Structure 1
Amino acid sequence: MNFTKMHGIGNDYVYVDGFKETIEDPNAFSEFISDRHFGIGADGLVMILPSEIADFRMRMFNADGSEGKMCGNATRCIGKFVYEAGYTDQTNITLETLSGIKYLKLNVEDNKVTSVEVNMGNAILIPKDIPILAEGETFINQPIDIDGIYYNVTCVSMGNPHAVLFCDTDIDNLSLETIGPKFEFHPLFPERINTEFVQIINENTVKMRVWERGSGETWACGTGACAVAVSCVLNGFCKQGEELTIQLRGGDLKITYNTDGSVLMKGPATKVFDGVIEY
């Protein structure tokens, strides 16, 4: 099977061209190829497919084989893939995902896509729609119990669920391998949760690390960065409508939480290599 390895600031996936290739069991295939010792090595699998309601369709699977509804970094990489593969000559395209249609604007130089801007849609703040097992209209700066210690989190869905935790200490010293799973599998989150650990640099810049459900710590998370920007506004750290720089382990994303509730994400997309794998 032919594949392409791509990453969005270090959030790496194996991309399979569904116009040419068929995967009978993508859950098992994702788990196999994601293994960094016995497979290709990735945060998961992304399939690029035809769509009846948009220009293209995306399916994405985590490293543990579970299917996710959305991946912000993958949307940018798909934009680069379909343009450079000649599937489109348009710089404004639509992408069908399990969390709705996303709108991509491709920035092209010398026939290469250098960066992509994605309209990620509106942030979801109602607990039952995120989903989390809590009453009320929002879950902002609310305490949850992790092994007897209370952490205040803000919960947002950007097509998949996120819990954002603001930290007073340097997040580089956190042991995400220890604390991440405790958030991921907390009973408050019926579909598990992605957790962002955030350090405020100034009103226009923050640093984050992310523990992704099904994959563990990744070097970047596009939907997570969007959830962080929304949470920064909701908690009074940043201003709505202003661009925020999110510093991740793999690089920076530019996120704007617009006054109409929508979220814009800007960032690079990088092709690493093409390959063929026996499976």
Structure 2
Amino acid sequence: MITVVRRLWPVLVALIACSVVLYQFDWRNMLVLLPTLPVGWLLLVMASGTILVFATSAARWIAINQLSWEARTIKRVYCYVALAMAASLVTPFQLGELLKIRFAQESGLKLGNSAVNLALERIADLFTICALGVAGLIYIQTGFFSLAIATLFSITLFGIFTPLMLQGFIAWLGDTSFGSRLKSLAGPPLPLRNLVLVGVMTFLKWGLTLALWMLIIRLANVDISFWQGSFLLGAVAAISILSMIPGGIGVQEFSVRTMLVGMGIEPLHAETAAIVLRFLTPVMVLIAAAHLPLFYKKAQSTTA
């Protein structure tokens, strides 16, 4: 029974969340309001923001795996990182990013090395999400700018410096069997230059994501501050991941609506912003899918 509940938990949560969204949202007035929004600008912002996020994520993957910065490698990595990120949007716990491990083997990376590097990336992302949420909450509750900034950078940097801590742990283990095995999996130490680039790309990726969310919300006629946006992105991203629901369907809309109303936004505008933000997911998936012909073309040329 427990096993069945555990397996069905994401489905149950999704059904409950979608039911709440269906019955709580003012769909009649929202359907009148949605056509008045600048659809062209929304699509432009979503598309351009998505491409920039894909690009920064690809640059980080190249840096953390110590790949060459040749044009062919950059294009290839950009394509499969875009596809993996799109897959993560429609899989529980964003497990679609595991596709990067599969494609990384084409670049000569060992399975263990790419798996460890993907884990390090996810740790950096999770700490950054936590930093955004906690820092935003601190500023909203206290108004202390310096404390919020210190919290934002300290938590984020802790996640970014995880590769260094891993290498220190491996050195501490020494020549033990576990240490040797872990050293083989982790691969060569990450040079400082690459670590700095990983950090910069992590900041850029989530900075762009925050800017993208805030622009979309602003185009939906909802005005929030930077710190409110920081808290919103961090909290909603964490809730969506923990819910284990692909794309956080239902959970994201309910969370965005609840938090925006808590920030003093009228329910109708909060619900409209939540629905408009939902459209970002299919836009990202479609843009990633548009890379498929280019991806397979490059794969065939590489094979040839």
TM score, norm. by length of structure 2: 0.28
Pick the structure with more strand per residue.
Answer: 1
TM score, norm. by length of structure 1: 0.29
Pick the structure with more helix per residue.
Answer: 2
Instruction: Between the two structures, name the one with larger relative contact order (CA 8 Å, sep ≥ 6).
Output: 2
* Structure with greater Cα Rg: 2
